[in-house]
Structure 1
Amino acid sequence: MKNIIVTSLYTLLASILFFSCKKDDMNYKDVNITAVKTLYAPVNNRSIKLLSSASASLYFEWEAVKAEDGGAASYEVVFDKPTGDFSQPLYKIVSDNNGFSSGATITHKILNRIAGLAGVEPGGSVDVKWTVFSSRGINVVKSDQSATLTITALQGFADLPDEVFITGEGSETGTNLAQAMPFKLNAAGEFEIYTRLEAGKTYYFTDRNSGTPRIFYSDNGSTLKEAEESGVITASKTAVYRINLDFNTATIAYTEITSIGIFFSPENKVLFNLPYQGKGIWRGTGVITFRQESWGRDERYKFQMQTVSNGANVVAQLGTVTGTDSPPNASSPASYYYLRVLPNTSQWDDKWKFMPAVDGKSTTISVLLQGTSPYTHTVQVN
């Protein structure tokens, strides 16, 4: 009996110690962190005229801070009006490397948005100030230092259209406004269309396909303008293009699409091209034979697009949006076939798998890059 009592006491004491330790472990301990003491770049009172290039950026840099536990700190660059105290800032953005770098590459496009929030008119100049918040866990410290930046904004549009169409004799649908092809809205003020233009004929863009719409055009091929009454663009070459309009920066960009083909990953090549059919549709027919491997039949594929941008030949690929790694079946959702332009080209990444019925059969494949629905494709065994 004595041994049983002693054993029970030891068990009780061990339980008390265990739960006491667990309770202590669950108590969160704040980690003290220092404030950023020095802002390196851009220097105080720097002036910058923003550029419409998508790659244009300004680098912000500051002295790294120290955390009490020796861990890595994270940072946010914070912008405010010159009279503000950063308690209700205009804009915040994490630094490079997901917030763990003591520097931030901020695009001119974002700086233009910040200038707009500060009240600048398109093409005008405005002062903003910036500082850095450092943090470690839930502990956030604002730097005592700040610097002023004078921003000359882009000639963007203050009133962004909700939708955009292409019309005119040089467009695929001619001058009938009601039949004008719609652009795809990618983000606020950003529109894209895949379409054919006819050389020597004019076209323009509108914000509606009925009534008396706003008219947009360009007289230099890169700057987007609004016409008071009328304005047109003359196509210099008959070709299929991807046209990108950005009303935030008042810019227009053209990419010629010379071909789209079936890229068969096992053979690392295009099997056959899909001729352009019109209104953002490419379609082609061919026999696709899967590659025999030791583990089975390899059926992986995506699309390859040959383009010409700023006079240079550029290869791009179109791949899956959903990241699938299985072939489709009768119950597969429509999103299985959704596609996007990939940031990089590769043999295996972001591919689909053909259904087994495709193997060795004549198959018709269509790519649909249209403004009224998600970009997608279809596969039909003949």
Structure 2
Amino acid sequence: MKNLIRLSSVVLLGIISITACKKEGRPLDLNLTAVGNLGSPDDNTDVVLDPTSDASVLFKWDAATDANGGLILYEIAFDKEGGDFSKPVYKTMADGNGAQTQITITHKNLNKIAAAAGVASSSTGKLKWTVIASKGTNAKLASVSRTIQLDRPAGFAENPTELYLTGSATEGGTDITKAVQLKKIEDGVFEIYTSLKAGDYILTDKNTDGGKQYYIDNGIIKEGNNPVTVSGGQKTYRLNFDFTSATSKSMEIQSIGLYMSAYGTEIGTLNYIGNSTWEAPSVDVEFYPFSWGRDERYKFIVHTAAGLEYIGSSNANNDPPAGKPASYFYVWPVTNDQWSNTYKFDPSADKKNVKVDVMFKPDAYTHKVTVN
């Protein structure tokens, strides 16, 4: 009898479970009506993009309708001027993880969207935009769309995060794994101090195969694999590539002078030895004897094809170098003031020969003084 009662209970529970599952498994109501009106920006609005700023554009629309309530999510979609949104060039969720009837898009991202739609830098193009409302698996395209005109500045929509120089004209040669890395000065801006010889070079964002490649055409940076040809003898340069404006600059560096403030002149010359390094193997140093003591201040003069540039400490005044961090020796562009932004030799350098190196490496622009 007990077994019979137990079996009856199991059967009853099974019937209840099946009945409950059938009730819970009824289909969801996914009906909704598509967005019928777009709020802002107005149709054919012209936006002059400034991707380097914090500027943005607010896109707004009316809510889709659902008689039975429930959560509706929204995506904004962009397409080329003649597109039908079957293959939009860009889609993204609305604010509030898709729940709000608006989205704020920065000029930086609009610049990327315009590029994806084929609008070239330094040109103007029109895109269509609309909204997709969805509830569960049911997604509906808005019954209306608008056009927005985007004026792109010069420069790239996507800046490389790293940049390398490779080719027969470079110090690393044609082996891509030995490509010379540039220093990232700021977002989209890269610089290198290096030598070039007769041959060619190209820029790439990877020191492996498959990276994006760039070349220079009349000072303008362009994407592609058309190498830059270098002729003549080997020379040392400071090369600067600004992807935010798609421009490049080149300056020949002839030598670097070790300038001692108290004498008001250069006491030694550093010559290029490769690998972004200038060196003076032996310089006679003697501190200047003032009445109050011996003066040991110095900085550097960069001799370029266009004239003199001064590099020194970011501090207006400095103590002797003993116990100072590595940043004490970093070099920065400074004024030609005789006394400001100078370093101080270690006291042991007085009346000795010193070896001086200035290194412009991707991790830091710095220098080193070694007492011989």
Pick from 212, 224, 228: which aligns with 1:214?
212
Aligned length: 250
The reply to whether residue 319 of structure 1 matches residue 312 of structure 2 is: yes
The equivalent residue for 2:302 is: 305
Q: Which residue of 2 aligns with 1:367?
A: 358
Report the Cα offset of residue 156 of structure 1.
Answer: 1.1
Superposition deviation, residue 239 in structure 1: 1.0
Secondary structure in 2 matching 1:218: strand
Q: Highest Rg: 1 or 2?
A: 2
Question: Equivalent of 2:228, from 224, 228, 233?
Answer: 233
Per-residue CA deviations over 1:182-234 (Å, capped at 9, x if unaligned) read 000111111110000003x11111111112111111122x100111xx22111
Please list the CA deviations of residues 225-261 of structure 1 after superposition, one character each: whole Å capped at 9, or x if unmatched: 111xx22111244311011111111111101111111
Distance 2:49 2:164 in 1: 31
Partners of 1:273 and 1:355 in 2: how far apart? 19
Q: Quick check: 2:317–2:340 contact (8 Å CA) kept in 1? A: no
Q: 1:353 to 1:233 in 2, by over 3 A?
A: same
**Normalised by the size of structure 1, how large is the TM-score?**
0.60
Instruction: Establish whether residue 243 from structure 1 lines up as the match of residue 235 from structure 2.
Output: no
Query: Structure 2 unaligned runs (5+)?
Result: 1-45, 61-105, 116-120, 127-148
Opposite residue 206 of structure 1, the aligned amino acid is T
Aligned twin of 1:266: 262
Matches within 5 A, 1:325-344: 325-329=318-322, 331-342=323-334, 344=335
Instruction: Verify the 8 A CA contact 2:195 2:237 in the aligned structure 1.
Output: yes
* Correspondence list, 1:101-250, <5 A: 116=108, 119=111, 121=115, 122-125=121-124, 152-199=151-198, 201-220=199-218, 222-227=219-224, 230-237=225-232, 238-250=234-246
Would the aligned equivalents of 1:217 and 1:226 in 2 still touch at CA under 8 Å? Answer: yes
Q: Which residue does the alignment assign to 1:293?
A: 290
Q: Which amino acid aligns with 1:337?
A: F
State TM-score, norm by structure 2. Answer: 0.61
Measure the CA separation in 2 of the matches of 1:226 and 1:126: 20
Unaligned segments of structure 1, at least 5 residues: 1-45, 51-76, 85-113, 128-149
Give 1:307 shift. Answer: 1.0
8 Å contact 1:115–1:126 — kept in the other structure?
A: no
Once superposed, what is the RMSD of the aligned Cα atoms? 2.8
Secondary structure, aligned partner of 1:158:
coil
Which whole-Å CA distance do the structure 2 matches of 1:188 and 1:233 have between them?
A: 24
Give the structure 2 partner of residue 277 of structure 1: 273
Residue 335 of structure 1 aligns to a residue in which SS?
Answer: helix
User: 1-side partners of 2:125 and 2:325: how far apart?
Assistant: 49
Amino acid at match of 2:152: A
Partners of 1:186 and 1:160 lie apart in 2 by 13
Contact 1:324 1:336 in 2 (8 A): no
Kept after mapping to 1: 8 A contact 2:57/2:107: no
Give the superposition deviation at 1:293.
Answer: 0.4
Shift in Å at residue 339 of structure 1? Answer: 1.1
Aligned to 2:346: 355
Query: 1:314: how far off?
Result: 2.1
CA distance in 2, matches of 1:156, 1:259: 32
Deviation string 1:5-47 (CA, Å, 9 cap, x unpaired) is xxxxxxxxxxxxxxxxxxxxxxxxxxxxxxxxxxxxxxxxx99
Which whole-Å CA distance do the structure 1 matches of 2:201 and 2:332 have between them?
27
The one-letter code of the counterpart of 1:298 is: D
The answer on whether the counterparts of 1:259 and 1:273 sit within 8 Å (CA) in structure 2 is yes
CA shift for structure 1 position 153: 3.5
Change (3 A) 1:279 1:81: same
Classify the secondary structure of the residue corresponding to 1:267: coil
Among the aligned pairs, what percent are the same residue?
Answer: 33
Q: Deviations over 1:343-378 (max 9, x none)?
A: x3221111101111111101000001011x211110
Matched letter for residue 173 of structure 2:
G
The answer on whether the counterparts of 1:318 and 1:341 sit within 8 Å (CA) in structure 2 is yes
Does structure 1 retain, via aligned residues, the 8 Å contact 2:49–2:107? no
Following the alignment from structure 2 to structure 1, what is the Cα–Cα distance between the partners of residues 161 and 54?
30
CA distance in structure 2 between the partners assigned to 1:188 and 1:360 by the alignment: 45
